[in-house]
Structure formats: structure tokens, C-alpha cells
Amino acid sequence: NEVLIRTEKLNKLFPVKGHKGKTVKAVTDVSLNIYRGRTLGVVGESGSGKSTLGRLILRLIEPTSGECFYGDKNVYSLSRKELNLLREKMQIVFQDPFSSLNPRQKIGSILWEPLVIHNRTSGLNKEKVVGELLNKVGLGEEAANRYPHEFSGGQRQRIAIARALALKPEFVVCDEPVSALDVSIQSQIINLLEELRQKENITYMFIAHGLNVVRHISDYVAVMYLGEVVEYAAVDDLFSSPLHPYTKMLIGAAPEPDPRVQLDFNLIQGEIPSPIDPPPGCRFHTRCRYATEACRQTSPPVKNISEDRWVRCHLYK
């Protein structure tokens, strides 16, 4: 397993509008590996920091503290020029295929634009490049002369994926790419992404609300809760023996629970607290039936269970 991306104690605080001195702890102390050619699934409820983590890795936003390495390059100490070069290798597919495509631009120019921006058009034929990109995502070449509104949600997401592929990226953040789509379309898009990963040797960070969405596409999974990664494991280990009480809760809430997993349905399914004032100690303690006095006072350290498997919970000493 070759590490493509490594984050070290990444932190991001956002000021809260209208509340002087208050901050949202969007991402706290996230250190993890993303392996080349593999998919890291990132799962958690709204406000858990998944998208912020993706944007930090792409340096679409600056961290409050911490590091991110892409290969041997420190992403946050690159010059403008170096960052532009790296940007060609790192792309993002957004959740909403309706707002992410310019309605006044024809599909052909939407797909050609990244090459124009990065000065990569010389010697290339626009029609040919665009046609190939459309074919890659299962659309016909005639789509090039049409506008986004002429396509369904699933087709638009295919176009957004084609645009992300235009510069032949190594790494793509898929930020809930199927959440806005009909359930019947979701698996088609996930299958397409998986097929492209294999053909083009792409590395994904695949963000989703629920574990069931990432299960079939992920090699590793990071479970996030209120800005922290509370468990990180290979996908099969996570499903066969979830360690963190929150992971157990998520698996219990998935529509197809694995019968081999000993589930604890007594876990409190309460509301997620605000990331503005996360609970002290373990941030999950307000919903955890195992919570002790220690959990309410001290934040659990990361406990390595084995290579590439860790958990943040006082139950594991």
C-alpha cells in the first residue's frame, strides 16, 4: 500500500457570524492515510466535518493548524505555481449536479474548460477530447452541443464526473455525489465511479452520510463525529467488528445490518450536539450509554488497534 496523501493533526476552526469569539470546531486533529488507487470512505452526520476535511486536503480552504502531504509535497507550503500543478491532479465532484454546472455553458465547453484554465489544450482537438470524456461516463458525443438543463440529475452528475476527469487526476474527492439523486440512479453512479477508479487508477475520498453508501466502494473508512475521526479501519474490519460505540450505532441504523455484528440497540440515538460548543471530554458522551466520568472529562486519545486500524474511545486501553 503506497501512501498518496497523509494528514497530520489537521484542524479547522471557523468563526461564527454574529458571535464574537465563538468558533465552529469543524475538523479536529485528523491524522490519516489515503492509499494510492484505493478509496477512503468518510462517513458521518451533517456537521461532522467531512466536506471540510475534503476541502482542506484539496487546499480549497486553509487549515487552522496541521499538515497535509501529497506524496512528498507539503500541500500547505506550496507556491501558487506548484499548487496550480497539484490542482490538476486533485479534483472534486460535488453533491448537487444542478448547481455545479454553469447553465449557460454547453457541455462541450464545460468539459474543455479545465484544460483551458490549466493551459493544457495545445496539440489537442476539443471535439475529440470532449467526445472521449463523454464516452468514459456513458454519454454520447452529441451531448457536447447541449446545455445542462437538457439532462437529468444522474446525467448531470455524469457530466460533472467527466469534467473532473478532464485533467486525468490522480485523486478525486467525491463529496456526497449521489445524495441528491434518486435512489434508483445512485448505484449507477457509484458503479461508474468504481469502474473509472479501476480503469484510470484513481484514488478517491468518498464522502457520505451513511455507511451503506460507502460500503461497496471503500477500501478504508473513516468515521467522523463532530469534527473528529473516531474510528479508522479497513472496510471489512469496520463492518465485521466495529469498535467505536458511534460506529456501532451507524451500522445499527443502516438498512442492511450485517448479522454477524453484535449490535447494541440500547445506544442512545439522540440529536447530534452543535460543533460550536462540542461536549467536553469525549464529544460522543451525550449519546453514549458507556459514558463514564472519565468520558465526560477527558478526550479519549487515539488508540492503535493494529496497523491501519485505530479508534478514539476510552473503552480501548
Q: Which residues in this chain contact Mg ion in the complex, by CB under 5 A?
A: 51
The residue (of 88 and 228) whose beta carbon lies closer to Mg ion is: 228
* Whether 70 contacts 4, CB under 8 Å: yes
* Interactions with ligand SF4, residue window 223-252 (CB under 6 A): 244-245
The residue (of 51 and 100) whose beta carbon lies closer to Mg ion is: 51
287 binds, among Mg ion, ligand SF4, none (CB under 5 to 8 A by kind): none
Q: How far does CA 40 lie from the centroid of its chain?
A: 7
Pairwise CA distance, residues 181 & 154, whole Å: 7
Q: What is the rounded radius of gyration, in angstroms, for the C-alpha atoms of the chain?
A: 20
51 binds, among ligand SF4, Mg ion, none (CB under 5 to 8 A by kind): Mg ion
Q: How far is the CB of 284 from ligand SF4 (least distance, A)?
A: 4
* Interactions with ligand SF4, residue window 169-208 (CB under 6 A): none
288 binds, among ligand SF4, Mg ion, none (CB under 5 to 8 A by kind): ligand SF4
290 binds, among Mg ion, ligand SF4, none (CB under 5 to 8 A by kind): ligand SF4
The residues near 206 (Cβ < 8 Å, ≥ 6 apart) are 39, 40, 41, 42, 174, 177, 193, 214, 217, 218
What are the distances in angstroms from CA 248 to CA 45, 74, 238, 258, 281? 14, 35, 9, 11, 20
CA-nearest of 91, 127, 93, 132 to 108 is: 127
Could you say which of 175, 235, 282, 310 contacts ligand SF4 (CB under 6 A)?
Answer: 282
Interface positions with ligand SF4 (CB under 6 A) = 244-245, 282, 284-285, 288, 290-291, 295, 300, 313-315
